[in-house]
Amino acid sequence: METKSFQERVLDALPFLGTEGRALFDEFFATARPAGLNAGSFISMEGDMCSTFAVVLEGVARVYKTGSSGREITLYRIRSGEGCVLTASCIVGRSEFPAYAVAETDMSVALLGAADFRSWVARFPEWQQFVFRLVSGRLVSVIEVVEEVAFQRLDARIISHLLHAAGDHNRVRTTHERIADDLGSSREVVSRVLKDLEKAGFVALSRGQVKLLDPKRLRGFTSECS
């Protein structure tokens, strides 16, 4: 099987580099360097100064906050063709990273220096648009997290999370602990809610998996809870 080159993988993730002009293309590939991360590796820790910006080529990263109790809540995930907006903010503002970022799967990234990142934001409209799209998309997702935490019942939040994660497959490979981390709750509380949902016939639980038995009923339940 043919393995794609670094340039090919970058252009798959950031196709605008090949269509929006040669100057950014040349500078990107003159300075960007490939890197790999193992699942579970920390990318940034709270309080770090951001010296590089990573564009994800393959894999998924998770950005989260931790409370004084040790409880976590997921802010967003970063996938192929994306970068971390908090890192971008820290680079532009020369401030400390305010959360944690960890590789959720094995990852392949393109690393850019902070000085190059700042220079491109000032000089290349196509890079500005890429960064602004990241910011606008992440603002929406973080606001959704805030609204859910502040205004939605936990059972409805868990169901919404499962429906989104399941897609058309009606099953989610996950753990109670991971759901709790995503939603800013405790594993014990999530387990109790999932058990109640199982007793009500909404889901079937097995090790490392939640099967959605009737997605239509689940969507109706979340509407009733709103």
Residue 207 and residue 185: Cα distance in Å, rounded?
A: 20
Residue (of 143, 205, 150) closest to 179 by Cα position: 205
Backbone phi and psi for residue 151, each to the nearest 5 degrees, phi listed first: -120, -10
CB 145, CB 77: distance < 8 Å: no
As a whole number of angstroms, the distance between CA 210 and CA 226 comes to 23
pLDDT at 199: 87
Q: Is the pLDDT of residue 110 over 60?
A: yes
Task: Give the range among 33-42, 61-70, 79-88 with minimum mean pLDDT.
Answer: 61-70
> 44: which strand partners?
101
- pLDDT score, position 226: 54
| 31 vs 187, higher pLDDT | 31
Q: pTM of the full predicted structure?
A: 0.73
